[in-house]
A and B are shown apart, each in its own frame.
Chain A
Amino acid sequence: DAGVIQSPRHEVTEMGQEVTLRCKPISGHNSLFWYRQTMMRGLELLIYFNNNVPIDDSGMPEDRFSAKMPNASFSTLKIQPSEPRDSAVYFCASTRGGNTIYFGEGSWLTVV
């Protein structure tokens, strides 16, 4: 079984540029999460979708961040404009029916 697939794996961008991170959840999973991991703050939940609908976006740091899930097999996390403090590892995760949450390998973002 393919796991959660994220792209790009690594992204280096200049401050002010738009960044789009992509995620394909595990087939059949109906819940999708975006997490951010930093040394200072650990793993933080940014947004949670259930059946493609955003349920909890209270973790989205500010209006520069947006997330969409146009269908059950694809989600994007966009940062516009990006800032150096956005540098982190962004993880996408999915689950079915509230059971075990499975994580992707992460997108490593560096904003210079």
Chain B
Amino acid sequence: EDQVTQSPEALRLQEGESSSLNCSYTVSGLRGLFWYRQDPGKGPEFLFTLYSAGEEKEKERLKATLTKKESFLHITAPKPEDSATYLCAVQGESGGYNKLIFGAGTRLAVHP
């Protein structure tokens, strides 16, 4: 069964304090690993897709990396507006081509 585990559950950072969020996964044939950001009262907003181990993608202060067992979302010099819940999801061969299995998310709070 495909599974996604995110850690930590919650993370509090001071503005400018860099850190990383972890997404561990088990999947039968990874088709893609997705990172989403979710603000309170909103739907998940797409950030990145990673397809193979070693791949990296960047967007502003965020950088996502992928290994065969986990993905990291690195946040460099975060600002208060980066506060949100970050969701990781995988698409595996067994779940069907389009099916996303989500982790529980990491709630990030960045304080000035």
Binding site for B on A (CB under 8 A): 4, 31, 33, 42-45, 48, 50, 55-56, 91, 93, 95, 98, 100-106
Contacts and interface: CB of A to CB of B under 8 A. Distances in A.
B99 A45 contact: yes
Query: How would you classify the secondary structure of chain B's contact residues: helix, strand, loop or mixed?
Result: loop
Interface stretch (B43-51, B56-64, B70-78): B43-51
Interface residues on B, range: 20 to 34
Contacts of B41: 105-106
Given A42-B103, A42-B105, A43-B87, A48 B96 contact: yes
Interface of B: 34, 36, 41-46, 49, 87, 89, 96-105
Nearest to B103: A42
Q: Which of A4, A43, A106 has the most CB of B within 10 A?
A: A43
A50 B98 contact: yes
Q: Which of B41, B43, B49, B102 has the most CB of A within 10 A?
A: B43
Nearest to B42: A105
Given A104-B43, A105-B42, A106-B43, A42 B100 contact: no
A101 to B, nearest CB: 6
Given A42-B105, A100-B49, A33 B43 contact: no
